[in-house]
Structure 1
Amino acid sequence: MSRTLPALRVTALAACLLTGAVLTHPALAATRAAAPSPAQQKLDRLADQFYVARAKFDPLLYATANGDSRYDDQIGMAISPVVRAKQFAQYHDQLRQLHMIARAQLPEKARLNYDILEFEINSQLDLEHFPEHLLPLNHFENVPSVLANYASGTGSQPLTTPAQYRAYLSRLNQLPAWIDQAIVNMKEGIRVGVVQPKAIVMKMLPQFQQLRSSTPEASIFYTPIKNLPAQFSAKDKEELTAAYRQAVERIGPALDSLCQFLESDYMAAARASSGYGDLPNGAAWYKARIKNNTNLALTPQQVHELGLKEVARIQRQLAELGPKLGYTGPANQLPQWVAAQDKFKPFHTEQEVLDAYRKIYATVDAKLPNYFSLLPKARLDIQLEPELTRATASDHYTPVAADGSHPGVFWAVVNDPAKYSNVGMTSLLLHEGVPGHHLHAALLKELPLPDFRKFYTEHPSAAAYTEGWALYCETLGREFGFYDDPAPYYGHLNDELLRAVRLVVDTGMHAMGWSREKAVAYAMQVLGYSEARATNQIERYMVWPGQALAYKVGALKILELRAKAQKALGPKFSYPKFHAVVMGDGTLPLPILEAQVDKWIASQK
């Protein structure tokens, strides 16, 4: 292994080490930014306007979920046809203004801002003519459930001050109008044939029924009042208690109307098919989703064939690994055998699972400096997924807040500790925690980037980078020495197999007429999943088409770029320098990432 740079915990000053996308330590003290030109000032203003417009349009997705708490009092009305039309008109105007700026007159870093801003605006416009607002609810991701999860105050919207309590209260007061608009949209969806599959509606309905309560005090949305901090003044406590009660009283009837509508009208109109291909203009809609999530103009057939190829490759590796685990049966039954082995299920309590994750985290943390010269100050927190969404959720990460009000959190989904397998824990921590999502998202908050790039993790168009990076980080378990043990290595391969299977089933359902049942059966056969676990995965892809493609496509691109750099640079290749290029400019669309790496390789030669 080539000589590595000492690790650097990023500060605003240390971030000046980034020249282009390359980390250069000696430049720290001497780096000073020149006064921006008029063209750059126009670009900066336009970038800020774009970010604010998008954050206000959908503050849950584009602000709060990305660690920006400035819009925590707003719910947004992105599903309103009127609001949506105004937003797209604004994007068209911003793109026109951007093209009036002479890109050639901008300095290098500003040209990168220009390119990313152009890419982001176009990514929004790619979906303009598809009626996504007519599908405002699904079981995997919906506004009422997101706000319900925030009620604990431990997620992306912390509740520790009176101001934070009032911000969340403001969102609750806006929820009934949002629900009313969602019902209007779904009625229009019924009229034009844009509805969710019946299987999805059957999963949605219990979620919203669970949000209802017999009294305001029993509502999950009243939870903040039950957890009022003792240091709040008597006046704040009194005012907040009364205001929350009134808000919950208004939410109740709205939820009743929603449940009644879903149970009667919407359930009857729900479709039997599984994919977007059965929706009006569905083939074009899905193709746009592929481009939006992968940043590449791939056809469903190309993605499907790539998935089959990757499945076959990983299955060959698993066949070689089986005997090292003590398995001597047919190769295609290895996942089922591992899933049945009690020796891989050592836990009795949820706390034991959390402790095991924290131990893996400590081991990874000690190894990071050998592979990364750019590391964030922010630490990772590890928590259990809230009970409300535990049955349908996947393990996931929420980014650290830019203002430090909450940490980056890896949410582990533990439904039954006694059935929780430890074989996939290492690769999962590498993906959701460090050096995966947390290292990337925390660095974003500490690098000197404009807001539209700083809060750029949870967007669909960022998925190819964010999820690709996280899956790439799973492969680093080999360099870290974790996969010398066949059990964690099996976990990694099986998780990688899942990402390959996603390419097959996502395109299968949305472009090739696969039924939900066929996709579930394929996942059970290839992955060795139970029917319930396979169904949970497949139904996620049904309502979130294309998102699951980003993982494998993005990871393969980063691995391809690393291999290119290793071949071109030979002994001059350095993991810390390569990772600084990939991460040093934050989230990059894949075509722009490739250009940055190519530029770095040329500079190193």
Structure 2
Amino acid sequence: MKHTIKLGALAIAAALACASASADIAAAAAPAAAKSIASSETAKKLGALANEYWDAEARFDPVMAGEAGDNRFADQIGMTISAAERAKQFALYRDYLKRLHEIAREQLSARDQTSYDILDYELKSALRFEAFPEHLLPLNQMDAMPVTLANYASGQGAQPLNTVRDYKAYLNRLQQLGPWIDLAIADMREGIKAGIVQPRAIMQSALPQFKQLVSKTPETNIFYTPVKNFPKSFSDADKRALAEAYRATIEKTLNPALARLATFVEKDYLPHCRASTGWSALPNGMNWYLARVQSQTTTDLTPEQIHQIGLKEVARIQGEYARIGPKMGYHGPASGLPAWVSQQARYKPFKTDKEVIAAYRKLDETLRQKLPALFSLRPKTPLDLRLEPELSRATASDHYTPPAADGTRPGVFWSVVNDAKEYGKPGMVTLFLHEGQPGHHFHIALMQEMNLPNFRKFGGNNAFTEGWALYAETLGTEMKLYDAPEDWFGHLNDEMLRAVRLVVDTGMHAKGWTREQSIKYMRETLGYPESVARSETERYMAWPGQALGYKIGALKIQALRAKAEKALGPKFSLPKFHEVVLDEGTLPLSLLEAKVDRWIAANK
């Protein structure tokens, strides 16, 4: 009995102790639970705001969204060139920024804090452009809505043309293109009055494109191409209805609008275009250019600092030219190597564009074997290789288009072959590493496969996007793809182009360089024929600052890799470094640096 009582007392004591401990745990857990709930609610607020922001962006510029892989608004072109639309958008940016700053960042997870910081950066960067009337410069030889939509007519671009619904969506865009053109003409007339006009040279290059879009009959118009390529699955009734709708749209509204545009540019706009070259020649142009530099590099580097970086890189690469030239049979001055290579028939082995694309496909097969050793993180989405459509070949460069998030198209590497017999082999390896894999495809296709907010999945910045692709070119060394001297030269020559861009872009837009100075510098440094140096120069004239992101971004990634290799020594893993750089999608360079620093600290 006593024994039983004793056991019972112990049990009661134990129970009391457990009850006390449970109470302590519950007391401690209550704030933690409350904190978790608060954190969850804060994350929901951020997620809702982020989605609202991207939806507004996609509706404002649905063509941009489609190019990035979001095809929800494939039946709209947007009126980004409308002053009223721009005002609405900037008002939204201010509201979003205010609401963002009301969210308690410290209550968010590390990943959500990154989204917070990127959204904060993007909104502030976008608001910098409110002071500059970009809508008064609605088109140029590199970027014009009529040409963009014409390139979609084949059904191979960013606009899918596989179903009746797709055909109706594209038709709806064509029906909006006439009003867009009339608004663009009105904007350019206002730009003439305000002294905000394009340089004459780039509009002279754009004019033939616009003239080419005008046709004598609807059936010979490029926008009628979809009717000639109906999928076999379409019913006869759908074919008849769509053919008539396309024909009527082209005849009654689109072709007349295209003719008005070509006539206006030739007769009214070109005579008022400016003879000056750089953006700083425009009203408030230097501040405008500075905003573009900041946006494109995600840094606070000044044009002068960037110019000096460019000159330093040009000198370094010319030192490499001096080393590699004799191995190729060249013994002249280093600066003359590119021109010499361009004149060697043995480096132009192709006769047809099919031979060019076949060479890229063979390279792609080689990379599929080599890349797993360098990357633990790789996209599941396939990469396709295609030739650039004829309309845009004259002004396009080899490029990549992202896959559609809904799986309707893969990532695509587009090869631009104007004359196969003049297509140089030395630059092919480095080009494909940049535009194909592991360059743009590994970055952009991976982003779409991650659980990221839409504004991060489809958005981004130029410094990371192009910086990663240029860094990817350097990986040809690890994979022994540059063992042939001409292939190493091809890589160096691409690097030289990106270094020269730093010099000529800042030279033209901040230092008073003329178009002719840039052409001369590019010919002397890159060995380009006059026509190529001219088209490259005019690209930088049309897109101030865009060319700066490549080298600035690549140099940062290379510096971060060197820093990690030095700090971690034998613990450094190249596949892991690549995973750290890529596994959260696009970041402003300052956020990327902070992320790599955290990784180094955690593994040191």
Normalised-by-shorter TM-score class: over 0.9
Alignment of 1:27-426 (within 5 A): 37-61=40-64, 63-249=65-251, 250-426=253-429
Contact 2:38 2:107 in 1 (8 A): no
CA distance in 1, matches of 2:144, 2:203: 13
- The one-letter amino acid paired with 1:114 is Y
Partner amino acid, structure 2, of 1:47: A
Q: CA deviation at 1:265?
A: 1.3
After superposition, what is the alpha-carbon deviation per residue over 1:109-167, rounded to whole angstroms, capped at 9, x for unaligned?
A: 11111111111111211211111111001011111000000000001111011111111
Residue 599 in structure 1 maps to residue 598 in structure 2: yes
Aligned to 1:507: 506
* 1:200-219 residue CA offsets vs partner (Å, 9 max, x unmatched): 11111111000000011111
Secondary structure of the structure 2 residue equivalent to 1:547: coil
Query: Which moves more between the two structures, 543-552 or 437-446?
Result: 437-446
Is contact 2:493-2:526 (8 Å) kept? yes
Matched-pair contact (CA < 8 Å) for 2:280–2:509: yes
Distance 1:598 1:87 in 2: 36
Report SS of the residue matched to 1:128: helix
Q: Which amino acid aligns with 2:537?
A: I
Instruction: Indicate how the Cα distance of structure 1 residues 36 and 219 shifts in structure 2: closer, same or farther if over 3 A, else same.
Output: farther
Letter in 2 for 1:367: K
1:433 pairs with 433, 436, 444, which one? 436
How much does 1:506 deviate?
0.3
Structure 2 counterpart of 1:453, which letter? Answer: R
Residue pair 2:142, 2:539 contacting (<8 A) in 1 also? yes
Contact kept, 8 Å, 1:212 with 1:256, in 2: the verdict is yes
Contact 1:126 1:292 in 2 (8 A): no
Deviations 1:238-295 (A, max 9, x none): 2211111122121111111111111111011000011101000011110110001000
Give me the whole-angstrom Cα distance separating, in 1, the residues matched to 2:37 and 2:392: 49
State the 1:396 CA deviation.
Answer: 0.8
Counterpart-to-counterpart distance in 2, 1:257 and 1:537: 28
TM-score of the pair, normalised by structure 2 = 0.93
Amino acid at match of 1:555: A
Query: Deviation at 1:34?
Result: 9.7
Q: Determine which structure has the larger helix proportion and give its number.
A: 2
Structure 1 residue matching 2:413: 3-state secondary structure: strand
Judge conservation of contact 1:382–1:410 (CA < 8 Å) in 2: yes
1:36, CA displacement in angstroms? 6.4
Per the alignment, residue 492 of structure 1 pairs with 491
In structure 2, what residue type is equivalent to 1:543? A
Alpha carbons 1:50, 1:94 under 8 Å: kept: yes
Counterpart contact for 2:467–2:557, Cα < 8 Å: yes
Q: State whether structure 2 residue 474 is matched by structure 1 residue 475.
A: yes
CA-atom RMSD, angstroms? Answer: 1.1
Larger Rg: 2
Contact (CA 8 Å) 1:274, 1:542: kept in 2 or not? yes
SS at match of 1:477: coil
SS at structure 1 position matched to 2:547 = helix
Aligned twin of 1:6: none
Read off the aligned partner of 1:336 and give its amino acid letter: A
In structure 2, the residue matched to 1:550 is 549
**2: distance between equivalents of 1:294 and 1:236?**
48
Q: For the residues of structure 1 that align with 2:368 and 2:538, how far apart are their CA atoms?
A: 35
Distance 1:403 1:35 in 2: 33
Separation in 2 of the partners of 1:418 and 1:206? Answer: 25
State the TM-score, normalized to the length of structure 1.
0.93
Once residues 486 and 360 of structure 2 are traced to their aligned partners in structure 1, the CA distance between those partners, rounded to angstroms, is 15
Mapped to 2, the partners of 1:254 and 1:119 lie a distance apart of 39
- Displacement of 1:587: 0.8
- Counterpart residue type for residue 201 of structure 1: M
Q: Contact 1:79–1:181 at 8 Å: present in 2 too?
A: yes
| Alpha-carbon distance in structure 2 between the residues aligned to 1:60 and 1:81 | 18
* Equivalent residues of 2:39, 2:107 under 8 A apart: no
Post-superposition CA distance 1:49-73 (Å, at most 9, x none)? 0000001111111x11101111111
CA shift at 1:179, angstroms? 0.4
How many residues end up aligned between the 2 structures? 568
Q: Match of 1:276, as an amino acid? A: W
Alpha-carbon separation, structure 2, partners of 1:321 and 1:557:
26
1:330 positional shift: 2.2
1:294 and 1:356 map into 2 onto residues whose CA distance is: 33
Cα offset, 1:456, TM superposition: 2.1
Q: Find the aligned partners of 1:88 and 1:394 in 2 and give their Cα distance.
A: 32
Give the secondary-structure state (helix, strand or coil) at the position aligned to 1:397: strand
Q: Deviations over 1:281-319 (max 9, x none)?
A: 011110110001000111111111110010000000111
- SS of equivalent to 1:376: coil
**Cα deviation 1:507-549 (Å, max 9, x = unaligned):** 1110111111110010000000000011111000000000000
Gaps of 5+ in 1: 1-32
Aligned-partner residue type, residue 359 of structure 1:
K
Q: Tell me the SS of whatever aligns to 2:185.
A: helix
Task: Give the structure 1 partner of residue 31 of structure 2.
Answer: none
CA distance in 2, matches of 1:138, 1:331: 35
Q: Distance in 2 between matches of 1:158 and 1:325?
A: 45
Taking the aligned partners of 1:240 and 1:591, their CA distance within structure 2 comes to 51
* Structure possessing the higher relative contact order (Cα contacts under 8 Å, 6 or more residues apart): 1
Check conservation: 2:463, 2:553, Cα contact below 8 A: yes
Distance in 2, matches of 1:214 and 1:391, equals: 22
Amino acid at match of 1:330: P
Measured against aligned partners, the alpha-carbon deviations of 1:318-338 in whole angstroms (never above 9, x if no partner) come to 111101111122222111110
Secondary structure, aligned partner of 2:245? helix
